[in-house]
Structure 1
Amino acid sequence: MKIIIVGDGKVGATLTEQLSKEGHDLTVIDRRPQALQSLQETYDVRCVCGNGAAMGALEEAGAGEADLLIAATSADEINLLCCITASKMGSASTIARVRNTDYAQQLDLLKDELGLSMTINPERTAAREIYHILRAPSSVNRDFFAGGKVELVELHIPQNSAIVGQPLSKLYKKSGAKVLICAVTRGDEVVIPSGDFVVAAGDNIHVTAQPQDMAVLLRYLGIKTPRIQAVTILGGSRIAYYLATRLMSTGVRVKIIEKEYETCRHLSQLLPGALIIHGDATQKVLLDEEGLRDADALVSLMNFDETNAIVSMYAMQQGLPKVIAKIDRIDYMNIFKKMDVQTFISPKRLICNHVLRYVRAMTASSGSSFNTMYQLVGGRVEALEFTASPATKYLNVPFKDAPVRSGVLIACILRRQKVIIATGNDCIQDGDTVILVTTSEMQVSDLNDIFQ
Structure 2
Amino acid sequence: MKVIVVGLGEVGLHIVRTLTAERHAITAVELDPGRAESLQSELDALVINGNGASPRLLESAGAADADLVVAVTPSDESNVITALASHQLGARRTVARVRDPEYFGKDEKFARDILGIDFLIHPERATAEDLAQAIMLPGAVHVEYFAGGKVAVAECVVTDRSPLIGRSLAERPAGQAHRIVGLIRDTRVVAAEPGHRPKAGDHLIVAAGRDDIAGVVTHIAGYTRQVRDVMIFGGGRIGLPLARRLEAEGRFDVTVMEGDIDRAREIAELLRHATVLHEEGLGKDVLLAHGVDRVGAFIASAGDDRANLLAALNAKQLGAGLSMAVVSREEYTPLVEALKIDAGFSPRLVTAEAILRVVRGDNVEAIHLLIGGGELADVVVDAGCKADGKTMESVQTLAITRIAALVRGDRVMFPGDEECIRAGDRVITFNARSGISAVVGTFNA
The residue type paired with residue 242 of structure 2 is L
- Residue aligning to 2:157: 156
Secondary structure of 1:286 counterpart: helix
- Residue aligning to 1:72: 72
What does the per-residue CA deviation read over 1:196-221, in whole Å, with 9 as the maximum and x for residues that have no partner?
A: 33223332111111134333333433
- Residue aligning to 1:438: 431
Q: Compare 217-226 and 45-54 and name the one that shifted more.
A: 217-226
Matches within 5 A, 1:172-191: 174-191=173-190
Alpha-carbon separation, structure 2, partners of 1:344 and 1:110: 31
The residue type paired with residue 365 of structure 2 is N
Q: Compare 283-292 and 250-259 and name the one that shifted more.
A: 283-292
- Residue aligning to 2:169: 168
What does the per-residue CA deviation read over 1:259-303, in whole Å, with 9 as the maximum and x for residues that have no partner?
A: 111111221222243221112231333222222223221111123
- Residue aligning to 2:263: 263
What does the per-residue CA deviation read over 1:298-332, in whole Å, with 9 as the maximum and x for residues that have no partner?
A: 11112332222222122112222111111122333
What does the per-residue CA deviation read over 1:33-78, in whole Å, with 9 as the maximum and x for residues that have no partner?
A: 1111222121111122221111221122111121111111222222
Matches within 5 A, 1:262-411: 262-361=262-361, 369-378=363-372, 380-411=373-404
Alpha-carbon separation, structure 1, partners of 2:324 and 2:102: 28
The offset of 1:98, in angstroms, is: 1.2
The residue type paired with residue 163 of structure 2 is A
Q: Compare 233-242 and 8-17 and name the one that shifted more.
A: 8-17
Give 1:419's match in structure 2, choosing from 412, 424, 437. Answer: 412
The offset of 1:81, in angstroms, is: 1.2
The residue type paired with residue 182 of structure 1 is V
Secondary structure of 2:204 counterpart: strand
- Residue aligning to 1:366: none
Residues 192 and 409 in structure 1, CA contact (< 8 A), matched pair in contact too: yes
Residues 392 and 447 in structure 1, CA contact (< 8 A), matched pair in contact too: no
What does the per-residue CA deviation read over 1:138-182, in whole Å, with 9 as the maximum and x for residues that have no partner?
A: 1121111111111111112223421122121111xx132211111
Alpha-carbon separation, structure 1, partners of 2:435 and 2:313: 36
Alpha-carbon separation, structure 1, partners of 2:91 and 2:54: 15
Change (3 A) 1:441 1:296: closer
Alpha-carbon separation, structure 2, partners of 1:62 and 1:189: 40
- Residue aligning to 1:89: 89
The number of aligned residues is 442
Instruction: Kindly indicate which of the two structures has a greater share of residues assigned to helix.
Output: 1
Q: Compare 437-446 and 144-153 and name the one that shifted more.
A: 437-446
Residues 404 and 450 in structure 1, CA contact (< 8 A), matched pair in contact too: no
Secondary structure of 1:317 counterpart: helix
Residues 164 and 200 in structure 1, CA contact (< 8 A), matched pair in contact too: yes
The residue type paired with residue 155 of structure 1 is C
Change (3 A) 1:254 1:216: closer
- If the length of structure 1 is used for normalisation, what is the TM-score? 0.92
Alpha-carbon separation, structure 2, partners of 1:114 and 1:192: 43
The offset of 1:23, in angstroms, is: 1.7
The offset of 1:417, in angstroms, is: 0.5
Alpha-carbon separation, structure 2, partners of 1:162 and 1:190: 22
> 2:9 matched to 1:9?
yes
What does the per-residue CA deviation read over 1:355-406, in whole Å, with 9 as the maximum and x for residues that have no partner?
A: 11111125xxxxxx2221112253x321112112321234343334444543
Secondary structure of 1:8 counterpart: coil
Residues 301 and 326 in structure 1, CA contact (< 8 A), matched pair in contact too: yes
- Residue aligning to 1:254: 254
Residues 388 and 447 in structure 1, CA contact (< 8 A), matched pair in contact too: no
Residues 179 and 421 in structure 1, CA contact (< 8 A), matched pair in contact too: yes
Structure 1 stretches (4+) deviating beyond 6 angstroms? none
- Residue aligning to 1:118: 119
The offset of 1:137, in angstroms, is: 3.5
Point out where structure 2 has 5 or more consecutive residues left out of the alignment: none
Residues 48 and 57 in structure 1, CA contact (< 8 A), matched pair in contact too: no
Alpha-carbon separation, structure 2, partners of 1:282 and 1:315: 9
The offset of 1:230, in angstroms, is: 2.0
Matches within 5 A, 1:160-239: 160-171=161-172, 174-221=173-220, 223-239=222-238
The residue type paired with residue 326 of structure 1 is V
What does the per-residue CA deviation read over 1:329-360, in whole Å, with 9 as the maximum and x for residues that have no partner?
A: 23333322122112111111111111111111
- If the length of structure 2 is used for normalisation, what is the TM-score? 0.93
